[in-house]
Every structure is written in C-alpha cells, then in structure tokens.
Amino acid sequence: MSHRKIIHIDMDAFFASVEQHDHPELRGLPIAVGGSEPRGVVCAASYEARRYGVRSAMPGAKARRLCPQLIFVEVHFERYREVSAAIHRIFRNYTDRIEPLSLDEAFLDVTDNKRGESLAVKLAIEIKERIATELGLTASAGVSYNKFLAKVASDARKPNGLCTIHPTQALDFIANLPIGEFWGVGRVTKRKMLELGIHTGADLRARSLPELERYFGRAGKMFYDFARGIDERPVEAERIRKSLGCEHTFLDNTSDPSVLEARLLQVAEDLARRLERKGFLGRTLTLKVKYGDFSIASRSTSQLQEILTLEEIQRLGLKLLRGLDYTEHPVRLLGLTISNPSEELRPGMWVQQWIQFPD
C-alpha cells in the first residue's frame, strides 16, 4: 500500500519570535505580543514567558500577575505577514501543494516534490534549516502519511523539533496519545471524552463507530478514523477566504437584552483572539442573529479604517444588536464576523470561516 508524504510545519512562538529576532534586546526575555491594554488579550508569548504559564488568548492582566517582569510588545501584523510570505517562498521550492492553516502553520504534500527526494524527512530537515538560516527563526516539523499524524508529530517535540511517524509505528503512537492532543478535541469535547472514560487513543479505538456518532455526531466518524490512523483529507492548495467569524448558540432561546448583550461581548472577545491569531484585518463587521423559528437577520457596518481593537468590535456589535427588535422573537444564536480586508491577502495568509463555540 502506498502512502502520501505529508509535512506539517509549525513556527515556534511565531509572533514573539519575530519580535525577538527584530529586537535583539528582547532575546531571552519573557515577552507577550499584545495584551497591554486594560482589557487586552495576549496574542503570543515567548517561550521564556510560557515558563510562567503565560499563553496566547490569555487576558493581559492575568499574564502580568503570572509573570510580573513580562514585557508587552505591540502587535505588528504587517511584519508577520511579510515573514510568513518569505516562509512560503521557501516552501514553494519543494512543492506547490501547500495548505496554510494560519500565518505560522501549513501542510506540505511532498509525495511528488520538486527535488525528486524520496524521503520526506530529508526535505523537512532542509526546510527547517533554511528557515533558520534565511530568516533567523525556528520551526517544528512533523512528517507522516496523513495530515492528522503530521500535525500530531509536529506538536510532539516543540520547540525546534522534528518527529516522524512511520506507518508501521502509527497505531502504537496513537494508542498512547492523550485524548486532548487529537485534532478536533477542544476544551468541551475533551471534557466529554474524559467523562466517557476516553483518556487515550487506545480508549478511543475501543469505542464503536455508532457509539462515537451518538455522542459526537458527524465528528464521531472523524475520531473513529483518527484512532485507527486514517485521514483521507488531501492537502489543499492555498485558498484565500476573506472573512473570519465566531458564533454562539444559546441553550435556551432568549429575548433578555442583558443576556444577549453580555454574550455578544463574549463572542467579540473570542473573535478578537482569533483575529490576532490569524493576523486578519477587515473593515466590515457583520452581526448574525438566528431566531427561535430559525429565521436569520444580519446587519453590517463598514469603517473607513480597519477594525483593530476588541473595544471597537464590542462597540460596533452592540450598536448593531440594539438596532434589532427581538422582543417578540427570542434569539437562539448570535454571531460576529469581520470581512472586507483593505488589501488583497498575501501568500501564506489563511483565514478560517465561522468557528462555532458550543457550551
């Protein structure tokens, strides 16, 4: 049986590492990119900061409590896009089958590569070396026969690591993999898995497909396959999507303005974190409201300049929400999306569409 050859490249603490590269006086120090505002959120943390528990998407105030000597650095998205584009130019020396996941992460299908190299691990080593030599940054790489395992492999030895999962090793590797490290297992799904007694890949593999589908819906088939080392998804060449959004579905429909406005502020916070993570900027904010009868209303507002801050998203979102009459139409879902970038997205920039956050 022939296998594909997939490399997953994940830059190490990308935004923070770029800042430390560009500002040598910050090297070796705990820094956080973003998060300095009163209600700001950490966009990225250096490994020196991570030792204190500082993580991306963490409120800046909490990060400061964990690490009093933390240095907050302004976000420079244009610079990160520039470096990401340079990384992708390196990738294209090896293959055109590149699927970006974000500015700092991508899959490469090197089954039929431009170098005619049969060993994907050799290409991964060379790519890592070129990124280090040409850009002064480190990356972690995972090599395997599908996307799931390549992603898991790159996470296994961060930072600056390289891990290969051979087809003959895959089932044993998966059996020992903590369930929280499976693709698609977020905080809520992990809690549900643990409640079901599923702690490792071996536990997951012991569950039947009907059982997993009963508990996890369509994702059950994905988990069933992953536990067996199966992932048929192809590496899809670069696609540019020009919007990013988040939404929340209520457990009970509501027309309570205080509840709706409070939840809209939380959706805005989720959106702001992912905008920082993905490096996306746009000028249009759209509010999506789904009512109890499943009818949908949407309202948008566009600005002359890019929407840059959480406070701006919240202010505009509340204005849109307050312009709707939902007193007799209980709401079941709220969503916010940013779109309309002011310039064409550059190679290496990947924007996901709607990201749902169930309770």
Q: Which residue has the tokens 């929400």?
A: 321
Query: Of the candidates 262, 243, 251, which has an alpha carbon nearest to the alpha carbon of residue 321?
Result: 262
Asked if 247 is an active-site residue, the reply is no
52 φ/ψ sector (left φ>0, alpha ψ -120 to 50, else beta): alpha
Q: Which residue has the tokens 């670069």?
A: 238
Q: Which two tokens stand for residue 170?
A: 């895959």
CA distance 121 to 288: 45
For 307, list phi and psi in degrees, rounded to 5: -80, 115
The catalytic residue among 105, 238, 247, 276 is 105
Angle at 288 between CA 324 and CA 220, to 5 degrees: 145
Q: Which two tokens stand for residue 203?
A: 């536990």
Q: Which two tokens stand for residue 7?
A: 């490399």
CA distance 355 to 275: 12
CA distance 169 to 56: 32
CA distance 189 to 206: 17
CA distance 32 to 104: 17
CA distance 311 to 308: 9
Task: Calculate the CA dihedral of residues 210, 213, 218, 221 and round it to 10 degrees.
Answer: -60
Reduced to 3 states, what is the DSSP secondary structure of residue 151? helix
CA distance 359 to 357: 7
For the chain, report the end-to-end CA distance as a whole number of angstroms.
42
Residues annotated as catalytic are 105
